[in-house]
Chain A
Amino acid sequence: MQPRKVLYTIAVACAICIPLTGLYPVFVMKLMCLAIFACSYNLLLGFCGMLSFGHAAFFGTAAYATGWLMTARHCGVGVSILGGILAAALLGLVIGLLAIRRHGIYFAMVTLALAQLVYFVCLEAPFTGGENGLQGVGRGALFGIISLKSDVTLYYLVFAAFVAVFAFIERVVHSPFGQVLKAIRENEQRAVSLGYEINRYKLAAFVLSASLAGLGGSLKTLVLGFVTLSDVSQGASGEVILMTLLGGIGTFFGPVLGAAIVVTLQEYLSDLVGGWVTVIIGAIFVACVLTFRRGIVGALAAVVKRR
């Protein structure tokens, strides 16, 4: 067996055992939702080289859509999650069509501005609960049969979704489609001259990434039972960048590790230092960009390769 597969097997085995260890399952589930978000983001940034500064728009929109479908429309869990993903995908299509007209930093600024537009819509639209957000979203039952009230059942659902997303992204990146994306990242002009319609590829990647981010957002609503404006905010977009950067842009496991570190920091550090968390997050950002651009997994991989 390859060492990579051994590592994955161990990780999956550990994750399956987590509910038995008494580690607070809601925390682990939240972490997995954000890991899905970070992985989806990495698909765009790491494998297509597109830095979106507004990815929380997709995460948050799906979270709101799922919450709204469950509370106002009394839809089932499956339908609500699918609805969330669909909403994120549609939004991804619209924002993507506009944003891919520009490259690099312009792309980042356009996504940032359009995400801010989504934020204001969420603030003022009648179905999002404005400043309060959507509270008291129940968990319901999957397919109307399997009740998700118990944390353990929901944990395995979220875990299954996480594994599926991870495997899907690995599959996509290694597919011919993924190879074209990498080619575009490396040298756009050359990809054009080889006859690829690069804008279609970029748009497809953008919509794919937005949909997966939406899945993360929908699941988070289910896990925590509420949606707030912070899910669509600029802060959330910044955090997902930090997770990816810290773990390692363009590595498969990096975003997962990055999400784990950032979520743990926020959860435990805020008790210790209170509001200084923002400052610490900012300092990690600065330190990462200056000294650690490959991220933790990227740096480890480089060490292993050198041996």
Chain B
Amino acid sequence: MTEIFGVPVVVILGQLMLGLVNGAFYAMLSLGLAVIFGLMGVVNFAHGAFYALGSFAALLGLQLLGINYWAGLVLAPLIVALLGMAIERLLLRHLYRVDPLYGLLLTFGVALIIEGTLQQLFGSSGQSYPVPAALAGAVNLGFMILPKYRAWVIAASITVCFSTWFLIERTRLGATLRAARENGPLLQAFGVNVPVLLTLTYGGGVALAALAGVLAAPVILVTPQMGSSLVTVVFAVVVIGGMGSILGAIVSGLGLGIIEGFTKVIYPEASNIVVYVIMALVLILRPAGLFGRE
């Protein structure tokens, strides 16, 4: 059997695969953060909480109403996005004119409320979501075993990420959204309903987080804390990619997932911190982030 640094190649490939799956989640979450920040100027601390809500919505849908995975993939993000839009309408809206730091603090409070409520309702022990039948099992590629569900997660996430990038950077709707950020009052004077646009943007970003939550449900343990432990990593990913850069969020999310997976092979103790160390290096060498413009 071939080995690199004394580690069998199969193990390395397996870890890289896991890393890529994690990277897919990082990419989707940091993309949602980048969309919300880039188009609204809000740092959404509640992003991890919405991710957890997405998982719980899918899980409850399955347990209580028998809604299957594929329907859950559509319905759960929709429901969570509605909640997100309600929060934007009722709370976040009042803070657009003050320092953006207050938006960060408000969403931090929202995250505590959501996670605390989930904790009280479902306890902190995790629940698992069954892998849908169509994606169960694995394919033997000859050089490694590829579980079908993980391949699906990676493919789905990359598709979603690049469609979002296309929507915002290459379509008329995206241009309008960017114009709203550039000069809201002027766009409003042209007859565009800017407040509704902002609500929809927030809903869209939140839906991305919830979708990541549903995708993650079958491969992780669904717990109330699943988001809060992820959100700081995602923040670091966003700093590395360059805040507000959509392509930066996608590329650095996937890349850092792979690097993390690789670190698990060569030096497992550092796998939790490697993302933060890279962030520190990026701050020293390129403070605006890899894809950011100052």
Contacts and interface: CB of A to CB of B under 8 A. Distances in A.
B109 A104 contact: no
Interface of B: 43, 91, 94-95, 98-102, 104-106, 108-117, 119-120, 228, 232-233, 235-236, 238-239, 243, 269, 272-273, 276-277, 279-280, 283-284, 287
Given A109-B43, A121-B273, A286-B91, A275 B110 contact: no
Interface of A: 51, 53, 98-99, 101-102, 104-106, 108-110, 112-114, 116-117, 120-121, 123-124, 234, 238, 241, 245, 274-279, 281-286, 288-290, 293
B101 A282 contact: no
Given A285-B108, A289-B102, A289-B109, A110 B116 contact: no
Contact of A286 (B109, B239, B287): B109
In terms of DSSP, what is the predominant structure of the interface of chain A? helix
Given A120-B272, A289-B105, A102 B287 contact: yes
A273 to B, nearest CB: 9
Given A51-B101, A102-B287, A113-B279, A282 B116 contact: yes
B163 to A, nearest CB: 26
Given A105-B104, A283-B109, A113 B239 contact: yes
B105 A105 contact: no
Contacts of B115: 278
A290 B91 contact: yes
A106 B243 contact: yes
Contacts of B272: 120, 123-124
Q: Which 8 A-B pairs have the closest CB atoms?
A: A285-B109, A282-B112, A278-B116, A279-B116, A282-B113, A117-B276, A286-B109, A113-B236
B111 A286 contact: no
Give the residue among A120, A123, A238, A285 with the most B Cβ atoms within 10 A.
A285
Contact of A113 (B101, B104, B235): B235
Nearest to B46: A282
Contacts of A121: 273
Given A284-B109, A288-B109, A289-B106, 9 more contacts: A102-B287, A105-B100, A113-B235, A117-B280, A124-B272, A245-B105, A282-B112, A290-B95, A290-B106
28 contacts: A53-B104, A98-B283, A101-B284, A101-B287, A102-B239, A108-B101, A108-B104, A109-B238, A110-B283, A113-B235, A116-B276, A120-B276, A121-B273, A234-B228, A238-B108, A278-B116, A279-B113, A282-B109, A282-B111, A282-B112, A282-B113, A283-B109, A283-B113, A286-B91, A286-B113, A288-B109, A289-B109, A293-B102
A51 B269 CA distance: 30
Nearest to A107: B101
A163 B279 CA distance: 38
Nearest to B114: A282
B106 A114 contact: no
Contact of A110 (B108, B111, B239, B277): B239
Contact of B116 (A112, A116, A275): A275
Contacts of B106: 285-286, 289-290
A279 B111 CA distance: 9
Contact of A124 (B104, B116, B269, B279): B269
